[in-house]
Amino acid sequence: MKLLILTEDFSPMPGGIATFLSELCKGLTRRGHEIKVLAHEMPDSARCDLKQPYSVIRYPVPGRLSSARIGYHLLKQILKKKPDIIFLGHVFATRGLAVLLIKCLLRIPYVILIHGGHLPHAQVGNINQLAVFSLLRYADLLIANSKFTLKLLVEKGIPEEKIEILYPGVDIDYFSPADDKKEIEKIKKTYCDLGIPLIVNAARLVPIKNHIRLIEAMAGIIKKGKTVKCVIAGDGPERERLERLIQLLGFSNVISLVGNLDRKQVRDLFRSADVVTLPSTLIDGHHESFGIVAMEAAACGKLVIVGSLGGQPETVIHGETGFVIDGDDVHAIEDAIERLMEDKVLAKKMGDAGRKRAVAEFSWEKITEKAERMLKIIV
C-alpha cells in the first residue's frame, strides 16, 4: 500500500499522537508499505526526518487561509504520486476539507485516526462542527484510540460499523522490568530510602490529571502515621498551585514535584515504584481518551491505579493488573494505595499480569499488524 499521512502532530513533537503516528509509520514501512508523511515544520524537524525509514515532507506552519495552504500541499503530493489511502492523524475540522474534495474528485479513500480528547476542541464554532461531521461521515474508515472514543463517535451519529478500535502501543523492549535488582535500588535511593514505599505519578500538571486529589490522598495516608514517599513527574500550568497545596499541608519532604523527566528517567522511575497512581478525572467535558502512560508503567511490571472516567479504565483490568477507582474520591485513592503498599504479594502479582498483558496486546508489532489489516480492507 501507498499511504499519505497528513498530521499536525509528529516527531520531534512530544506527545501521544506524535508517538502513535511515528511508530505506525515505522511499523508499516517494515512491513513493506510505502509511507509519505506531510507535516508542518518545527524546530529540529529536518534532523529528525533524516533518521526515518520513510519520507517526510514539511510545509510552513499554517497561518491565515490555513485550509487552502494545507489543501495545496496535499494536492501537490498526491499529483506527484497518487496514494492508495490518505490517512489523517487526527480531526482537522475546516483544515481537512481538502481531503473530502480530493476523495470526490480523485476517488482516493481516506481514514481518520480519532483521539477522543481532540473531538471537543475540533468542534468549536458552527463551521468547524459542520466540517468535522462531514469529514467523519464520509470517511472510509474511522480508527478510534479506545472504546470510549468509539462511544463518543456513535453518540455523534456515526455508524458503529465504520469505526475500528486501535489502541496506542508501547515499546515493550524499552519499557520493561529491570533485570538487575541493584539497579532498581540505586534508582530508588535517589528518591527515598529503600524500605519506604514509593508512589509514582507521571503526567502533565493540568486539572484533568487530578493531582490535587492524589496529593490529598497521600496527605491522608501520612496523617495515619504511614511512612511513604510520593514522586510526581511532569510540568504544566498547575505546578504553582500544587506546590502551594503541598506546602500548606506541610508535606514538602514527602510529596515531591520533580518536573519534566526524559524518557529514560520516566522508565527508571516506573521500575523503582511500588505503586503507579494516575487518577484522572472529568474537567469541562474533557476526559482522558486512553492513557498511554499507564500502559508504559504496566510494561515495566507495575500495577496501576487509574480513574474510572473516559478511556483510562481500558488500560487496566480491575483487580487483575491494578485498580479502577473514582478519581474524585480521595478515600478511594487512599484505600487502593494503602492496600497495595501493605500487600506486596498482590502488588507483584498484579504487576506481572500487567506486563504480560502489555506484551500480548500492546506491543507496536501487534498494533501495526492490526492497523495493516484495517487499512487493507478499504484499498
- CATH assignment of the domain containing 55: 3.40.50.2000
The pTM score is 0.90
Residue 4 has pLDDT above 90, yes or no: yes
Query: Which pLDDT does position 27 carry in this prediction?
Result: 96
User: Is the domain of 67 the same as that of 146?
Assistant: yes
* Nearest-10 crossing angle of helices 292-299, 263-272: 60
The residue among 179 and 357 whose pLDDT is bigger is 357
H or E segment to which residue 67 belongs: helix 66-80
Does the residue 265 lie in any domain?
yes
Kindly state the cell numbers that stand for 80.
Answer: 506527484
User: Is the domain of 137 the same as that of 216?
Assistant: no
Residue 84 has pLDDT above 60, yes or no: yes
Mean pLDDT of 108-125: 74
Mean pLDDT of 359-367: 97
d(CA 29, CA 196): 46
User: Is the domain of 188 the same as that of 229?
Assistant: yes
Q: What percent of the chain has pLDDT over 90?
A: 70
User: Is the domain of 55 the same as that of 77?
Assistant: yes
Three-state SS sequence of 343-357: CHHHHHHHHHHHHHH
User: Is the domain of 206 the same as that of 262?
Assistant: yes
Q: How confident is the model at residue 75 (pLDDT cuts 50, 70, 90)?
A: confident
User: Is the domain of 22 the same as that of 105?
Assistant: yes
Q: For 215-273, what is each residue's pLDDT tens digit?
A: 999 999 999 999 999 999 999 999 999 999 999 999 999 999 999 999 999 999 999 99
d(CA 335, CA 215): 14
Query: Which pLDDT does position 45 carry in this prediction?
Result: 86
Mean pLDDT of 66-81: 81
The residue segments making up the domain with residue 45 are: 2-168+363-378
Query: Which pLDDT does position 174 carry in this prediction?
Result: 96
* CB-CB contact of 231 with 258 (8 Å): yes
Mean pLDDT of 172-182: 92
Does the residue 174 lie in any domain?
no
Does the residue 175 lie in any domain?
no
CA 322 from chain center: how many Å? 18
Cα dist. 101→60, 67, 75, 107 in Å?
22, 12, 10, 9
Q: For 132-154, what is each residue's pLDDT tens digit?
A: 888 999 999 999 999 999 998 99
Query: Which pLDDT does position 123 carry in this prediction?
Result: 54
d(CA 329, CA 312): 16
Residue 124 has pLDDT above 60, yes or no: no
Cβ neighbours, 10 Å, residue 34: 15
Q: Beginning with the edge strand found earlier in the chain, give each strand of the sheet holding 110-114 in spatial order.
A: 55-59, 34-40, 2-7, 85-88, 110-114, 141-144, 163-165
User: Is the domain of 188 the same as that of 45?
Assistant: no
Query: Which pLDDT does position 81 carry in this prediction?
Result: 85
* CB-CB contact of 146 with 164 (8 Å): no
User: Is the domain of 312 the same as that of 217?
Assistant: yes
Q: How confident is the model at residue 40 (pLDDT cuts 50, 70, 90)?
A: confident
Query: Which pLDDT does position 125 carry in this prediction?
Result: 60
User: Is the domain of 276 the same as that of 194?
Assistant: yes
Residue 62 has pLDDT above 80, yes or no: no
Backbone angles phi, psi at 38, to 5 degrees: -115, 110
Q: How confident is the model at residue 118 (pLDDT cuts 50, 70, 90)?
A: low
Does the residue 273 lie in any domain?
yes
Q: For 273-310, what is each residue's pLDDT tens digit?
A: 999 999 999 887 677 888 899 999 999 999 999 999 98
User: Is the domain of 193 the same as that of 157?
Assistant: no
Domain count, the chain: 2
Q: Residue 275 has what DSSP assignment?
A: E
Cα dist. 295→8, 171, 173, 367 in Å?
24, 10, 13, 13
Q: Which residues contact 210 (CB under 8 A, 6 or more apart)?
A: 279, 280, 281, 307, 327, 328
H or E segment to which residue 318 belongs: none
Q: How confident is the model at residue 120 (pLDDT cuts 50, 70, 90)?
A: low
Query: Which pLDDT does position 117 carry in this prediction?
Result: 62
Residue 64 has pLDDT above 60, yes or no: no
Cis peptide before 12 (omega within 30 of 0): yes
When the pLDDT of each residue in the chain is averaged and rounded to a whole number, the result is 91
User: Is the domain of 107 the same as that of 242?
Assistant: no
d(CA 170, CA 304): 15
Backbone angles phi, psi at 155, to 5 degrees: -65, -25
Mean pLDDT of 310-314: 93
Does the residue 176 lie in any domain?
no
User: Is the domain of 204 the same as that of 57?
Assistant: no
